[in-house]
Amino acid sequence: MLDIRTNRWLVIAYVLLGCSIAGAQEDEIETDRDSFTPATTTAGDGRWIVESAYTLIDNRDVPETHSYPELLIRRGVSDWLEVRLGWNFEVGGAGSPVSGNIPSDFGEEAEIEEESRILYGIKALLTEQSGWRPESTVILQGFTPTSGEATDTQMSATYVFGWTGETGVVWDSALRYSHSSLEDDNFNVWSPSSVVKVPIGERWKAHAEYFGIFSDGREQETSQHFFSPGAHYLITPNLEVGCRWGWGLNDQAPNFFSNAGFGWRY
């Protein structure tokens, strides 16, 4: 009887830690917050993923920006489809252009401004990797202000594709389109990105990424280029913590940003 009870508690411990009873590692959580480029995977049928992060942006000519909690809740309704809901708050002299889960904002003000938005949308798997054919997904999202001066809802569409090599190296790329406005100026925003993720041991992954943000149809066009390295650590296959930082590569981009957060799957 003692052995049965002991084994029962071992099973519970393994489940809570996100480990498989057979000792083989389960598939790992893949968050969308780990880099500007989202993951090509969905949450999985019946699975929940909760992501949150804090971003500090050192703007060049206006006060620094703080963005938090960058909350994103993902619910898998099938193996290929998930629904998404989130919320974020920003305070500073400019919007946050460096987090893929919130809309890019080119506005700059000498005074501190505060705003928040709710996020809602879906993510769908389009193709699975097969030879040279990449794994790919599409993300459709809306962003509606919940506080601040802005009142218009923005929409975005993101196409993500990538390959995973036999050694676990991941190369993902994305193209995001969104509609934005600044006072009476309405324009489009295009955001290409590409990231390479390299496993280091069983729990660490390091990455290097380029992403850019370009206005289209704005009265005064804007382009921002960034380089961003980062790393994340798997506490368990279902719990990830990570950080990334980056530098603006041209005068229209912020000097520097840093981001830290976590993702939890259950």
Mean of pLDDT over the chain: 88
Collapse the DSSP code of 25 into the 3-class scheme (helix H, G, I; strand E, B; otherwise coil) and give the result.
Answer: coil
What residues have CB less than 8 Å from 170, skipping those under 6 apart? 162, 163, 164, 195, 196, 197
13-57 tens-digit pLDDT: 334 334 333 333 358 999 999 999 999 999 999 999 999 999 999
Total residues belonging to the chain = 266
171-194 tens-digit pLDDT: 999 999 998 877 777 899 999 999
DSSP 24: P
Alpha-carbon distances, residue 166 vs 7, 100, 191, 200, 262 (angstroms): 35, 27, 29, 14, 26
* Nearest CA-CA partner of 159 in 77, 37, 71: 37
Q: What sign results for the dihedral spanned by CA atoms 192, 74, 48, 71?
A: positive
Collapse the DSSP code of 48 into the 3-class scheme (helix H, G, I; strand E, B; otherwise coil) and give the result.
Answer: strand
Q: pTM here?
A: 0.86
Q: Where are the beta strands (DSSP E) in the chain?
A: 48-58, 65-76, 81-94, 108-127, 135-147, 154-164, 170-182, 185-200, 204-216, 223-236, 239-248, 256-265
Q: What sign results for the dihedral spanned by CA atoms 163, 179, 66, 210?
A: positive
Confidence of residue 93 (pLDDT cuts 50, 70, 90): confident
As given in the structure block, the two tokens for residue 2 are: 């003692």
Collapse the DSSP code of 262 into the 3-class scheme (helix H, G, I; strand E, B; otherwise coil) and give the result.
Answer: strand
With residue 16 as reference, give the H or E element that holds it. helix 2-16
Higher pLDDT, 11 or 182: 182
Q: How many C-alpha atoms does 46 have within 13 Å on its Cβ side?
A: 0
* Nearest CA-CA partner of 163 in 139, 138, 135: 135
pLDDT score, position 45:
97
Confidence of residue 2 (pLDDT cuts 50, 70, 90): very low
